[in-house]
Amino acid sequence: MAKTARLTLFAPLLAIIFPSLPAFAQGDYRSGGKLLLTGGVTSVEGASGGGLATWSTIAGDETERGIGASASATWIETRDFGMTAFGGKIGLFDRVELSYARQRFDTNAAGAALGLGAGFAFGQDVFGAKLRLFGDAVYDQDRFLPQVSIAVQHKHANRGAVIGAIGGRDDSGTDYVLSATKIILDKSLVLGGAARLTKANQFGLLGFGGDRQGAATVQFEGSAGVLVSHKLLVGAEYRSKPDNLSFAQEDDAYDLFAAYALHRHLTVTAAYVDLGDIATVKAQRGFFLSMQAGF
């Protein structure tokens, strides 16, 4: 009886979050339906969006009556460092996204100069959840209202001893992100912005908080792109970052990207990326490549 009462209590909340759940339960669902590239690609944290910036989009090709998913692999190579990220995400009824990414940051030969040893690597696990609050980036073309989502990303870095030695306060932390995205089809434009409350140093790979600044700060992420065709999106992104550690200034990040849909279920993204100075090593610019497969 108590169990039935609890289910009854949560039923209105589920109906608000997933308005198409009754139809889905009866077998009336759609496994695809989004326009190409309008579900975003994969960010460095594993969520749907651009390479650096968060979008309010939900992972997968599903409509509000379906479930979608994707897996991704990302490589970043700068002058002195390398980074890989592998992950996956699930989209539920174009309303909720659940994601996971495993990141590895390789210091290559620069690790020796930093006193860590050549080839020393940092790792991080990122667990994310995103909820679309209101709006539709594509199908609300008759209104200026963007699609707005809220997200949480919990991160855990694996080098606690090193993080403490350089002034980092914690090896784990949680980011909170409010994002808005609008796709203007008659102008072929994709516009997005996000506010991130975070303590992360270098996306969290160097820990959270520091000897210069310990509290979370609000950082901005922005993206703008042009749909050159229904298969090709080109644009630019900007992401500000905290500057919490006194031993090395942390710079904001930029990129110029092109995302191409090889197939409805396969997208490749390439970018020129500028990460600024990293851990006293100057001018870390290079290339970003990401592959995403999904349905």
In this predicted model, what pLDDT tens digit does every residue of 99-143 receive, in sequence order? 999 999 999 999 998 889 988 999 999 999 999 999 998 888 877
Residue-wise pLDDT for 141-183, tens only, equals: 877 889 999 999 999 999 999 999 999 999 999 999 999 999 9
Question: CATH fold of 30-287, please?
Answer: Porin (2.40.160)
* Residues facing 88 on adjacent strands: 71, 100
172-209 burial, b if ≥16 CB within 10 A, otherwise e?
Answer: bbbbebbbbbbbeeeeeebbbbbebebbbbbbbbbbbb
Cα–Cα dist 101/124, whole Å: 8
Query: Which of 206, 203, 256, 247 lies closest to 226, judged by CA?
Result: 256
